[in-house]
Amino acid sequence: MHTIVLAGFEAIDQITADTPPGSEKLILLVRWLLWGVMLAGVAGIIYAGGKFAWEKWNGGALESPKIVVAALIGGIVATSASALINTVVLAT
């Protein structure tokens, strides 16, 4: 029984994942979307920096830290999306 289990694990180790035919355009689209999300995050942080300066200059309420935190959380989720999906899919 022990050798059968070990043989099964050796067979699993030899499996390689290949991308399906025609998936190059889908992968390119996902990379472009990730680039767009990152660009939006950087733009959000720049906007929040300008808004923070404006709020400090005028003495208004500070709402810009919320924008910075939201942009940072969005960037973290976007860059870790692959790991999150692998964890969710492989956990089930």
Range of the domain at 53: 23-91
Asked if the structure places residue 71 within a domain, the reply is yes
Number of domains, the chain = 1
**Residues in contact with 52: Cβ distance below 8 Å, sequence separation at least 6, in sequence order:** 62, 64, 65, 68
The single-letter code of the amino acid at 46 is: I
Asked if the structure places residue 58 within a domain, the reply is yes
Asked if the structure places residue 16 within a domain, the reply is no
Inter-CA distances, 84 with 14, 41, 48, Å: 25, 19, 28
In this structure, the dihedral spanned by the alpha carbons of residues 19, 25, 28 and 34, taken in order and rounded to 10 degrees, is -100
For the four alpha carbons of 17, 5, 88 and 82, in that order, the dihedral sign comes to negative
pLDDT score for 10: 56
pLDDT in tens, 19-49: 778 878 888 888 888 788 888 888 888 888 8
pLDDT in tens, 43-55: 888 888 888 888 8
The pTM for the full model equals 0.58
CA 11 to chain centre: 32
